[in-house]
Structure 1
Amino acid sequence: MTPAQPAPTAPLPVPPLHDDAQVPDYVRELEQAADYLPDDQRAQLRRAWAVGAAAHVGQTRKSGEPYITHPVAVAKVLADQGLDVETLIAAILHDTIEDTPLTYDGLVSEFGETVAELVDGVTKLDKIQFRDRQEAAAESFRKMLLAMSRDLRVILIKLADRLHNMRTLGAQSMEARHRIARETLEIYAPIAQRLGMNLIKAELQDLGFRALHPWRHAVIEKRLRTQPVVRRESLVQIEAQLAQRLAKEKLAHRLVSRVKSPWSIYTKMRAEHKTFAQVMDVFGFRIVVRTVPDCYHALGVVHAAYKPLDSRFRDFIAIPKANGYQSLHTVLFGPYGSPIEVQIRTEEMDLIAERGIAAHWSYKHGGDGPNSAQTRAHSWIANLVESQRATGSSLEFLENVKVDLFPDEVYLFTPKGDIMSLPRNSTALDFAYAVHTDVGNRAVAARVDGRLVPLRTKLASGQRVEIITAKSSTPKPQWLEFVVSGKARTSIRQQLKQLEHEDAVQLGHRMLDRALEALGISLDRVPAVRMDAYLNEFRYPRLEALLADIALGNRMPQQVAMALAREAPGKPLRTPGGNMLPMSQDKILITGAERGVISFANCCLPIPGDEIMGYHTAGKGIVVHRLDCPNVADYRKSPDRWVPIGWDRQVAGDFSAALRIEVDNRPGSLAQVAAAIAEAESNIDRVEYLERDANIAVMRFAIEVSDRRHLADVMRRVRRLAVVLGVQRM
């Protein structure tokens, strides 16, 4: 949270250490929380507070408290998680580079490079100008992820900073409270969950819910406090029964009952359209044991005590979640007719479940390498960093990350038996991009559990997926309609932009060549000096950029040709014989696959085999019309925008066409027509009734065909139907 008062500009001397009498209570609380650190390291914490207090002198929070109380409170949040001394020092000083005269070099000399790197990673981007607050937040988030990729402790400080800001949100305006709470629920709480930090996630969600919907939070909280006595007694009976069974088996364990948080109750009520009583009609317990074999032993014990619901058992020990979470989950049929949710895990798994990546520093002080939660977090962030390099804007990147933060996941197996986790509703194509960007770009189909399926097939946990690729395959714009993961969406967009650019350059080259040939010159014969001068004048970095602009209609090829041939602007183009240049000569041949550069007019829906012409439109490139299109007469008034085009010999793909079909209005007519179109191997995009009475119905079928011959075959098959009275192309 930025301080309310501006920082002083005079350089600060390094302050002397304070004696015990001068140390305020909030610093003592921090030292008490960090009692796991040796004395010399706790002395460093006090030194950091002294430096921070001097740097922030005169600055206050909106509540009126000295500003230094906030970063010290952030450090205490982290000390409660058992973080190392460097992280705690960086937390105390996390706003100094941004808001005080202290510099990066000053921090390096006083506390070392690691602390300075951490503080710099947390520092916000206040000095860059953004179009709006939303983009500024997105760009700040992008920088935070880049800093996280260097050191995961950056995100721990950021989460602790957000948690303390949420705890002290009351001093903010209503608008600010809602904005910060929404951002917390959409971004920071899911990040905490993705990193396995359930304690921080739960508190962020609860505080965010309270700030965003105070009345709803209060109602649910009151209902939780005043639970019926019957329910409390039932909980005790089940707990006693489970504890007795575990003790008989001589299983050392810790058994605790779990109470749902207001936020989880609220989201479940909304998502599953349940009442409060239905949501609360579930008893939850956690059993913590010593070893992994003990987990499975305890599972057998609870299944003997109460019958399990077969479909609700999940083994997250054998197949951990993406954030490193491990536990056995089972649901039992309880004695009161209510489900009993039971989680079984070891002490280490419990610590990682509660603290996630922070458990690395608290569970294994000076340990040997990161635990699985950290390894998975590093892997996830590395993928995000790769994704952000390819994204066009910070907002697009943030949207992609939100998709990846979606809490529900599916767990899949590669042909080699490796486990991959993807967001819920992921398709085979999402899996292909998760394996590698090149695999996704060249994917053509997939085998799921040995069965051949299309790329849009949704995947379910436990399936074995193999991707089939082809060197000639390239991403299609339609892929964006069904992929769900951020990495797949970013990779497809980047590749499509690249392909569109290449197609635009090629088409622009052909158009400029035609225009230059009309003046008796070719592109190869334009002097390099003249070409460079033209590119510099119009600020094109390379010739390719100019050619792409020509194809997209932003530059007219004739005007560029005249400038390069040193013809006077406005002078009509003439052949060497002196006659006006006919626009129809030397057609540019198209395949229809020129992405983003050529589009087909909806007014006449041209298909291969039709006589066509092109109209040059700024920003859209060439729009193709049939020569018999009624709109062509209007385009004849702008001959400079006409482009002579025709179909190449090699035309592939599906093209849109429309049929007007008149049928007897009786049950089954529509189905017969649709079946005939399908038999002709044509897809139906849309059907609509144009006219309809008691006897006759007139329908418009929007279909896909490969060319005129294919369209004629479709029309022939439809005409043969007894119910059809007439067919014509629209």
Structure 2
Amino acid sequence: MTTTADDLIRLVKGFNPKTNEKLIRDAFAYGEEMHEGQFRHSGEPYFTHPVAVAAILAEQQLDDATIITALLHDTIEDTKASYGEVAKRFGDEVAELVDGVTKLTNLQLTSTETKQAENFRKLFMAMAKDLRVILVKLSDRLHNMRTIKAMRPEKQAQKARETMDIFAPLAGRMGMQWMREELEDLAFRVLNPEARASIIRRFITLQKEAGDVIQRITADMHKELEGVGIKAEVFGRAKKPYSIWRKMEEKEQSFSRLSDIYGFRIITASEEDCYRALGAIHRRWRAVPGRFKDYISQPKTNGYRSIHTTVSGRDGKRVEVQIRTQAMHDVAETGVAAHWSYKEGVRSENPFAVDPARWIAELTEQFDSEDDHESFLEAVKLEMYTDKVFCFTPKGEVIKLPRGATPIDFAYAIHTRIGSACVGAKIDGIRVPLWTRIKNGQSVEIITAEGQTPQATWLDIATTGKAKTAIRRSLREVDRERFIKLGRELARSAFEHIGKKATDKVLATAAKNMRLGGVDALLERLGSAELTGRETVQSVYPELAENGGDEIDSRRAVIGLEPGQKFDRAPCCEPLPGERIVGITFRGKGVTLHAIDCDRLSIYEDQPERWLDLRWHDGSHPAEYGATLDLTIGNDRGVLGRICTLIGEAAANISDLNFVERKPDFFRLLVHVEVRDAAHLHSLMLTLEAENDVAEITRYRRPQGADPAPLAAEGLA
């Protein structure tokens, strides 16, 4: 392990003899001084962490600035060091990199959706400025995951989930496959240790039964390649536990049925030898159909080039084979980071290394058009978590799409206009449904028609952020026209209710008073139920609205009663406007309303003469109909207050509240709320269900046989 400045410099000089040894020593001494007295969870001096991060980057043969940044990456954040002092001692380049890493550390990438989308934007902006910031951050995360056992269990789980969701896919997207695999495996060890241990045990059993399969297949491949005069190195390995677990989950297969658990890599001297080696492998072993990819002729955007094939090896076992040159292999190991790698003291001139600025530009270009946080986050995750398929237009142009893409995605990738007008598709000349998944190498033709507009069902078919965003935008336009038309009718009805006309001038006044962007904006909100007719009237004629509101009088809310006949709602099921109801007559007491599915109705099955067919009046009801919610919430400071606030913000009222169970970590309580109708209650329950501290929420109805008395009489008060 690298522990001293001499150890680190020796490591750096192995690939960069011209390194600025003095500057690295100064950075080492400065970092050690700044972190003096600080310790890690394990009890080790804190500075061992920056040194380990620097060593990880040195193993990737990166430049001096990146390695010095690693040594100092926590100084501005956690010590008395300042940006100005770091810039003065080590230069502006290092200071900017350290500052960039500090800002990334402060990003909470696993927070709420909106906040997460904003932080992903900042992440990509930091990457666009200098990709080395991300290289340091990834190495920082890798060392933290290697030493995660010293953390509290809940902190381990949080870091492991963040690693699995964000940092591992990001490393893979950058082409650093070795880092992705190690990050995934370290996170897997925390998140599902039993599954990982089980896979390792099965591997050991397999080796005992079959012997060293890797050594035998490696020898066979060497023999075949030597037979056709190809000089190459062959490496074999078993796949990582998490990779095997993922395959088991995806294919819904047991370990014993998995075949491609071994991978082999052939490193040749030239590109021509790659294809010759492929021929030799396919002559010796049977190729598995559909498992061939040529990333040499169609490289990935991060510079990755290799030929992938899967063949049936000994005993019918499938093995994956990757064939590439040494230069391709260097890029495959370090991905976009290959741009900064050094050999023999000079920047490596690898022809396959991608210019980071161009890579970032391509990555961020598709996100610039996103007009809302949800779409942006969706696009980012799709870009990071999926591999690519390469397909062709009828003219032979290559279109790159995420794996699982459909003709809808293909159409929008060509042009938004073509996507919106799509009515059908042909793949390899055959008409196919729009939900068909496109495969590598297929030719896709889009059939369009004038007057066609995107359908809501396309959102379930499309996979790319670009297609989904364009579909949503188009649907919003269509909905907007429909809402405006409906809003105008609602406004006319609301104003006629108080003897006024909904003229354009009146509507413009209402829009101005409600601080909306014009008549259309007002009508759109009315039509989409974001505003009520009463609110609109009240903004222009407050006195008339108060006296002649458009709410239905609760005394006349039910249709089907005799004149003067009184009713009340059964406390067992608490039926709400909007729900199907029946009435049960009681001599001298009027009618009791029950929901059509109420258990207590079975009591009156043999008394059909007491049943009345009733229904609620359509329209807006006042928020005075009681319903009971059964809530399980976290026992934490401020939780109950937030629940009450949410109920108030949803325009509902709490009329009673009773605790049923009190546990150290959770409370269960019954909350009696007053709402307008069933839709209002449903909306309120969705709002509460979205709250993190709400573990469970249901509508409470008294079971058959219980005392149908008010809430307090149940002994729950």
What TM-score comes out, normalization by structure 2 length?
Answer: 0.67
Give the whole-Å Cα distance in 2 for the aligned partners of 1:501 and 1:631.
36
Give the whole-Å Cα distance in 1 for the aligned partners of 2:153 and 2:173.
29
Bigger shift: residues 140-149 or 50-59 = 50-59
Summarize the Cα distance change of 1:509–1:99 in structure 2 as closer, same or farther, 3 Å threshold: farther
* 1:432-447 paired onto structure 2 within 5 Å: 432-447=411-426
Give the whole-Å Cα distance in 1 for the aligned partners of 2:226 and 2:66.
41
Give the whole-Å Cα distance in 1 for the aligned partners of 2:298 and 2:149.
42
* 1:302-451 paired onto structure 2 within 5 Å: 302-309=281-288, 311-321=290-300, 323-334=302-313, 336-362=315-341, 365=347, 367=349, 371-372=353-354, 374=356, 377-378=359-360, 381-383=363-365, 385-386=367-368, 389-393=370-374, 397-398=376-377, 400-451=379-430
Give the whole-Å Cα distance in 1 for the aligned partners of 2:319 and 2:106.
53
1:157 to 115, 123, 136: 136
Bigger shift: residues 481-490 or 51-60 = 51-60
1:166, distance to aligned residue in structure 2 (A): 0.5
Give the whole-Å Cα distance in 2 for the aligned partners of 1:264 and 1:201.
11
1:34 to 12, 25, 32: 12
Give the whole-Å Cα distance in 2 for the aligned partners of 1:481 and 1:507.
27
Give the whole-Å Cα distance in 2 for the aligned partners of 1:243 and 1:391.
54
Residue 700 of structure 2 corresponds to: none
2:527 to 538, 545, 551: 551
Residue 270 of structure 2 corresponds to: 291
- 2:525 maps to a residue whose letter is D
1:402, distance to aligned residue in structure 2 (A): 3.6
Give the whole-Å Cα distance in 2 for the aligned partners of 1:404 and 1:252.
37
Give the whole-Å Cα distance in 1 for the aligned partners of 2:253 and 2:621.
63
Bigger shift: residues 503-512 or 324-333 = 503-512
* Counterpart check, 1:475 vs 2:454: yes
Give the whole-Å Cα distance in 2 for the aligned partners of 1:526 and 1:269.
65
Give the whole-Å Cα distance in 2 for the aligned partners of 1:288 and 1:126.
38
Summarize the Cα distance change of 1:499–1:259 in structure 2 as closer, same or farther, 3 Å threshold: same
2:546 to 558, 567, 570: 570
2:125 to 137, 141, 146: 146
SS at match of 1:299: helix
SS at match of 1:25: coil
* 1:46-125 paired onto structure 2 within 5 Å: 46-124=25-103
SS at match of 1:118: helix
Summarize the Cα distance change of 1:26–1:498 in structure 2 as closer, same or farther, 3 Å threshold: farther
Residue 199 of structure 2 corresponds to: 220
Give the whole-Å Cα distance in 2 for the aligned partners of 1:131 and 1:211.
17
Bigger shift: residues 539-548 or 420-429 = 539-548
SS at match of 1:477: coil
Summarize the Cα distance change of 1:243–1:473 in structure 2 as closer, same or farther, 3 Å threshold: same
Summarize the Cα distance change of 1:636–1:197 in structure 2 as closer, same or farther, 3 Å threshold: closer
Residue 443 of structure 2 corresponds to: 464
Bigger shift: residues 260-269 or 399-408 = 399-408
1:253 to 223, 226, 232: 232
Summarize the Cα distance change of 1:328–1:124 in structure 2 as closer, same or farther, 3 Å threshold: same
- 2:372 maps to a residue whose letter is T
1:352–1:373 CA contact under 8 A, matched in 2: no
1:446–1:466 CA contact under 8 A, matched in 2: yes
- 1:164 maps to a residue whose letter is H
Give the whole-Å Cα distance in 1 for the aligned partners of 2:260 and 2:505.
83
Seq. identity, %: 40
1:63, distance to aligned residue in structure 2 (A): 1.8
- 1:392 maps to a residue whose letter is H
2:114–2:373 CA contact under 8 A, matched in 1: no
1:159–1:188 CA contact under 8 A, matched in 2: yes
1:551-577 CA-to-partner distances (Å, cap 9, x unmatched) read 33344446535644787543559xxxx
1:694-720 CA-to-partner distances (Å, cap 9, x unmatched) read xxxxxxxxxxxxxxxxxxxxxxxxxxx
Q: RMSD of the alignment, in Å?
A: 4.1
Give the whole-Å Cα distance in 2 for the aligned partners of 1:233 and 1:503.
68
Summarize the Cα distance change of 1:566–1:237 in structure 2 as closer, same or farther, 3 Å threshold: closer
1:168, distance to aligned residue in structure 2 (A): 0.8
* Counterpart check, 1:189 vs 2:168: yes
1:91, distance to aligned residue in structure 2 (A): 2.8
1:113-157 CA-to-partner distances (Å, cap 9, x unmatched) read 443443344335787999967876665444223322333323222
1:254–1:289 CA contact under 8 A, matched in 2: yes
- 1:296 maps to a residue whose letter is Y
Summarize the Cα distance change of 1:471–1:633 in structure 2 as closer, same or farther, 3 Å threshold: same
Give the whole-Å Cα distance in 1 for the aligned partners of 2:315 and 2:302.
35
1:356–1:373 CA contact under 8 A, matched in 2: no
* 1:476-625 paired onto structure 2 within 5 Å: 476-497=455-476, 499-501=478-480, 503-505=482-484, 507-508=486-487, 511-512=490-491, 523-525=503-505, 534-535=513-514, 539-540=515-516, 544-557=520-533, 560-561=536-537, 563-564=539-540, 568-570=544-546, 572=548
Summarize the Cα distance change of 1:114–1:163 in structure 2 as closer, same or farther, 3 Å threshold: same
What TM-score comes out, normalization by structure 1 length?
Answer: 0.66
1:323, distance to aligned residue in structure 2 (A): 4.5
Give the whole-Å Cα distance in 2 for the aligned partners of 1:527 and 1:478.
35
1:468-509 CA-to-partner distances (Å, cap 9, x unmatched) read 455644433221222223443344334434554454455445
1:639-658 CA-to-partner distances (Å, cap 9, x unmatched) read 9xxxxxxxxxxxxxxxxxxx
* 1:199-238 paired onto structure 2 within 5 Å: 199-224=178-203, 228=207, 231-232=210-211, 235-238=214-217
Bigger shift: residues 418-427 or 107-116 = 107-116
- 1:298 maps to a residue whose letter is A
1:67, distance to aligned residue in structure 2 (A): 2.7
Structure 1, unpaired ranges of 5+: 1-23, 574-600, 604-629, 640-730
SS at match of 1:122: helix
2:617 to 634, 637, 641: 634
Summarize the Cα distance change of 1:179–1:228 in structure 2 as closer, same or farther, 3 Å threshold: same
1:300, distance to aligned residue in structure 2 (A): 2.5
Give the whole-Å Cα distance in 2 for the aligned partners of 1:267 and 1:214.
14
1:78, distance to aligned residue in structure 2 (A): 1.6
Number of equivalenced pairs: 557
Summarize the Cα distance change of 1:226–1:121 in structure 2 as closer, same or farther, 3 Å threshold: same
1:77, distance to aligned residue in structure 2 (A): 1.4
Residue 675 of structure 1 corresponds to: none
1:256, distance to aligned residue in structure 2 (A): 1.8
- 2:424 maps to a residue whose letter is A
1:284, distance to aligned residue in structure 2 (A): 3.9
1:283–1:338 CA contact under 8 A, matched in 2: no
Give the whole-Å Cα distance in 2 for the aligned partners of 1:453 and 1:311.
19
1:385, distance to aligned residue in structure 2 (A): 3.3
SS at match of 2:368: helix
Give the whole-Å Cα distance in 2 for the aligned partners of 1:337 and 1:512.
73
Bigger shift: residues 295-304 or 54-63 = 54-63
SS at match of 1:250: coil
1:205-229 CA-to-partner distances (Å, cap 9, x unmatched) read 2211222223333343355456546
1:354-413 CA-to-partner distances (Å, cap 9, x unmatched) read 2211122227826499734858843552146336x43335xx754554444344543211
